[in-house]
Amino acid sequence: MDLKEYQEAKNIAFKYVVYKRRTVNEVREKLKKLEIADDIIDKVIEELICFEYLDDAVYVEKFVAKSKKDSVNVLRMKLLNKGIDKEIIDDYFNNNTFDEVEKIVPLLQKKKFSNELDTDQKDKIKAYCARKGFKISDIEKATKML
């Protein structure tokens, strides 16, 4: 392993994760694009994890906390697309509870849902919420709250 290349890769990765929280996969892809050898990438990532600059479990927690409008299903997909291990995602969502109804009510209000609307209009608004990844049962609960 070339010490100079390792140091350079480490500096690039450090600047990348200090600027904004990143996933292990994002750092790996960034370094691969710069054509850095896999053994150096692994060593750099190992060091960043050791010094707690990279932690996918913490990333998931912070990402979910920032995403106030997305359904659990949408959050799961976004996290998977970021390259986070399915086990880490499942572990987080299994150990935490989420009130999806609370997220649906503002969507319904935004679409001006009310009981005065005809059935077709109500169904269109409910379908909109379903396309956002919310469960039908939760959508029904939210409509009853309005």
- Look up the domain containing 111 and give its range: 100-145
The yes-or-no verdict on residue 62 having pLDDT over 80 is yes
Whether 17 and 46 map to the same domain: the answer is: yes
The yes-or-no verdict on residue 98 having pLDDT over 90 is no
Mean pLDDT over 28-54 rounds to: 96
How long a stretch of residues is the chain?
146
Look-up: residue for tokens 């029904």?
A: 140
Whether 119 and 132 map to the same domain: the answer is: yes
The yes-or-no verdict on residue 2 having pLDDT over 90 is no
Whether 71 and 108 map to the same domain: the answer is: no
Instruction: Give the rounded distance of the alpha carbon of 132 from its chain centre.
Output: 15
Q: What confidence score (pLDDT) does residue 29 get? A: 97
End-to-end CA distance of the chain: 63
With cut-offs at 50, 70 and 90, classify the pLDDT of residue 33: very high
Whether 66 and 45 map to the same domain: the answer is: no
